[in-house]
Structure 1
């Protein structure tokens, strides 16, 4: 046996501990297996559900009902802390707690309104893109129909109508009769009724 192989086997024996099995050996991550999920320390939430909630809150903040309720709450707050017994007052003048609550409400309302506006802008952008594609398809369909109508009109202009064929046949028969009779006496027309009803201008249009 070559000495190189003996050296490789000896090195592997030294690295592998005695009595080691497949479960006790160091496991190498396999590429065909999904990686186990990592532990997350931050709270998780559904962005779509949070966006819908922010839109509902933003819609409510932009209604007259919210203004009326907020005005009633502020009036009751001020009246209670001014005329109620001193032991029952929880926010004396200058109403610092009320100011803090209003600031907190405004600090939350502004980001929620911005989030709702961003979602509305995204929807408007998608709708505009769909409208643009729909307009392009409509223009393409209109151009195609215009070309087809023009081709049909061109084809119909070259089609021989029944009246035009009848007039041509009548002229041909008349010419043959004149050539067959040298005395110039003409026979009766082959299509007298149709010929009398037709006008010379209509034959030109049929041609």
Structure 2
């Protein structure tokens, strides 16, 4: 009989890393390090470049450069020219300038749009605060007006005091005339009290 074949023990199996969807992938190492640039610095440079291209100084210097280039290559001897007629090299330079200027101008416009959005948000918040303050002040003024209607004003107090003083003077005069001294003094002066000066009633006449 043949002996049973013994299988070799392969040993512990290596764990195969399983990619999980709930975890971000690890950064892969590259042979060439990627250039890092601050977006704020590059954006500020783009804005300065776009602002300079929109000035009259840029147009003047660009016109002088093109005229000197064309004049030198058109009027100078052939051995001194470097871009003969058709000016292909000048056209290439202007095309490169336009191809780089367009993205820089767009980047500057995007930054300006972002600033405008932030400014609009701040203006909207400021307008809402001003509206809330105005409504609060309006309610306070209305409450003060309602409260002032129930409070006695200075003219009202003066009129009430004046009427009270007149009423007190009338009562004092009546008391003085009704007193015996007032009656005697009235007779001596040729005046009569109020009861004597009153006209007789029609019932008494009848």
Larger Rg over CA atoms:
2
Query: Where do 5+ consecutive residues of structure 2 fail to align?
Result: 1-10, 13-25, 177-206
SS of structure 1 residue aligned to 2:174: coil
User: What is the aligned partner in structure 1 of residue 94 from structure 2?
Assistant: 102
User: What is the aligned partner in structure 2 of residue 153 from structure 1?
Assistant: 145
Contact 1:177/1:186 (8 A) holds in 2: no
**Residues 81-120 of structure 1 aligned to structure 2 (within 5 Å):** 81-120=73-112
Compared CA separation, residues 170 and 78, structure 1 to 2 (3 A): closer
CA distance in 2, matches of 1:162, 1:116: 67
SS of structure 2 residue aligned to 1:128: helix
What TM-score do the two structures reach when normalised by structure 2? 0.64
How many residues are paired up?
159
Deviation of 1:156 (Å): 1.3
Query: Where do 5+ consecutive residues of structure 1 fail to align?
Result: 1-13, 16-35, 188-207
User: What is the aligned partner in structure 1 of residue 174 from structure 2?
Assistant: 185
Q: Does 1:66 align with 2:58?
A: yes
Deviation of 1:39 (Å): 4.4
CA distance in 2, matches of 1:108, 1:173: 96
**Residues 24-103 of structure 1 aligned to structure 2 (within 5 Å):** 39=29, 41=32, 42-103=34-95
CA distance in 2, matches of 1:129, 1:62: 28
Contact 1:58/1:116 (8 A) holds in 2: yes
What TM-score do the two structures reach when normalised by structure 1? 0.63
- Per-residue CA distance 1:73-94 (angstroms, 9 max, x = gap): 1111111112222222111111
CA distance in 2, matches of 1:58, 1:154: 61
**Residues 117-132 of structure 1 aligned to structure 2 (within 5 Å):** 117-132=109-124
Deviation of 1:153 (Å): 1.2
Pairwise CA RMSD: 3.3
CA distance in 2, matches of 1:56, 1:186: 100
User: What is the aligned partner in structure 1 of residue 125 from structure 2?
Assistant: 133
CA distance in 1, matches of 2:175, 2:105: 98
